Amino acid sequence: MAEENVKVLIIGSGPAGYTAGIYASRANLNPVIFEGNQPGGQLTQTTEIENFPGYPEGIQGPEMMEQLRQQALRFGAEIRSKTIAEVDFSKRPFRCVDESGDVVYADTVIVSTGASAKYLGLSDEEKYRGLGVSACATCDGFFYRKKNVAVVGGGDTACEEALYLSTLAKKVYLIVRKDYLRASEVMQRRVREKENIEILFNCNTLGLFGEDGVEGAKLVEFKGTDKEQVFDIEIDGFFLAIGHKPNTDIFKGQLEMDAEGYIKTAAPTTRTNVEGVFAAGDCADPIYRQAVSAAGTGCRAALDAERFLMNN
């Protein structure tokens, strides 16, 4: 079992982790980044990104994340393709153990482990990921201008996604498994008033179909009842809006979180309830969940860590 001491340990990659690495490196803090089991984060599963500043022609998700990674390396960040499996934030330096059992003692820690979109569990979701299946309307909605799309979910997030897509798409189906919407009254009213949004209550998705991408979805209405019927809808895009799960399980009991598991920070800083531990990106953001906002918090976390080290 190897042991080492570092000034800044960054747990997780993605826009937040790599940006934190860039800023910490430029401050001569010699950060070590543990990329985790999905180096580059969720954007590595995204095709074209058109809303990140600086890319007027757009860029592929994996390509952009590789560029961020190379930029962090250029300034001296050490990047390891490993996962931190255990942490002890009870005292400084913080004790962190990786998947191989090696121990890293860190003066400061930046948590940037991200969040994972919840999926229905259909094999077709994986088959058509990036080919019509998305968990981010803001990221991918532009590609479905004047086309038919479907949004799965019945809460505020699903209604927000449907409303956003209704400004771009020709028609939006809102697939709701219950016979009512869980969204707030104002969101329900807005959805019902939109002429190009059709709500499909009591419906579950059985699968997706299409040759080179999504062309339709197979739904079942009143599943398991004597009124059950199966039917198809023609769509080009299938958006999941049933929530995200922050990747924060290993920090439970040590970092303060909300009911969903998102790490709480002392806004406008990235400070957590543990002095010397900072959180950036989607693991601490249940609202925006955009690459550019994650990168911004990665910058702030590195600056917060630098100031902490100067004062301690």
Residues known to be catalytic: 136, 139-140
Name, in order, each residue with C-beta under 8 angstroms of 278's C-beta and a sequence gap of 6 or more.
108, 109, 110, 111, 265, 269, 270, 271, 272, 301, 304, 305
Whether residue 180 contacts residue 199, with contact meaning beta carbons closer than 8 Å, is answered with: no
For residue 20, give the 3-state DSSP assignment: helix
Rounded Cα gap, residues 95 and 230, in angstroms: 54
Rounded Cα gap, residues 75 and 187, in angstroms: 46
**Angle in degrees, CA 306, 309, 310, rounded to 5:** 85
